[in-house]
Amino acid sequence: MPGGDDRIRDFWDADSHTYDEATSHAISDPLQAATWRQALREALPESPARILDAGAGTGALSLLAAELGHEVTALDLSSGMLARAQDKAKARGFEESMTFVVGSATEPPAGPFDAVMERHVLWTLPDPVFALERWREVAARLVLFEGVWGSANLAQRAREAAADALRKLMRVPDDHHAPYPEEVLADLPLARLPSPTPLIEAVQRAGWKAIRIRRLRDVEWAAELHERWPLGWLERKPRYALVADA
């Protein structure tokens, strides 16, 4: 049986071939991109700043940060995902302001960085507190873009079941090439959270200070508008930016 990093790397290498087909992953829709630019502008230090994008994937946030004038280091465990990011950076003329590093989120480059950011990455890590500790060693600010993906009540579960059924009826492809392996999910403490509270507690345990959180309603709204009704409404999830200082 492959180790945890190997299984996670294999999944995302395979997913790199279809990952950007989901507009929410690639942030290729102009309205969604505009809402994410605003979220980045509000959460990151003033540009130009040195930004580490941990778990950068195909570079959606890295590219938007570079567009805002930041010097970005994109770090990802999957060479397949990062190759896509490099291709997009070259096509958009950001080669000079971006660096690409293949490696684990728990082994960040030395920096120093003005901020480390991530989007939907901490849930994939078996030891998120350790990753948060390592990031605090190299960055002055923490910026997490996360969401409430778990179901805490029957009404939400009913909406998710209806959304799944509607996706099949409308033949809308899944956002990933395959379901995330259940044996991997079982080892991930931040997977399927029904509340931001466990993530806040993990950030506190890692030593970050002055934690603040803001819901990203514009990002939610743009994602909902992109989907055909009522799928966007059924799949709408709370999303938020969590910011803290080293």
| Cα separation values, 80 from 51, 87, 188, 245, Å | 21, 11, 22, 32
What does the chain come to in residues?
246
Confidence of residue 39 (pLDDT cuts 50, 70, 90): very high
Do 192 and 124 meet the contact criterion of CB atoms below 8 Å apart? Answer: no
Could you give phi then psi for residue 243, rounded to 5 degrees?
-125, 140
Q: At what angle do helices 60-67 and 79-92 cross, to 10 degrees?
A: 30
Identify the pLDDT of residue 234.
Answer: 79
- Least Cα distance to 176 among 1, 13, 7 occurs for 13
Identify the pLDDT of residue 184.
Answer: 81
Kind of pairing between the strands at 209-215 and 239-245: antiparallel
SS3 135: helix
- Lowest average pLDDT, out of 50-54, 108-112, 125-129, 174-178, goes to 174-178
pTM of the full structure? 0.90
Going by C-beta distance under 8 Å and a sequence separation of 6 or more, which residues neighbour residue 102?
A: 76, 77, 78, 79, 82
Confidence of residue 201 (pLDDT cuts 50, 70, 90): very high
Domains along the chain with CATH numbers: 4-245 (3.40.50.150)
Write the pLDDT tens digit of every residue in 162-188: 777 877 888 877 777 777 778 888 889
Cα torsion for 108, 110, 116, 117, to the nearest 10°?
Answer: -30
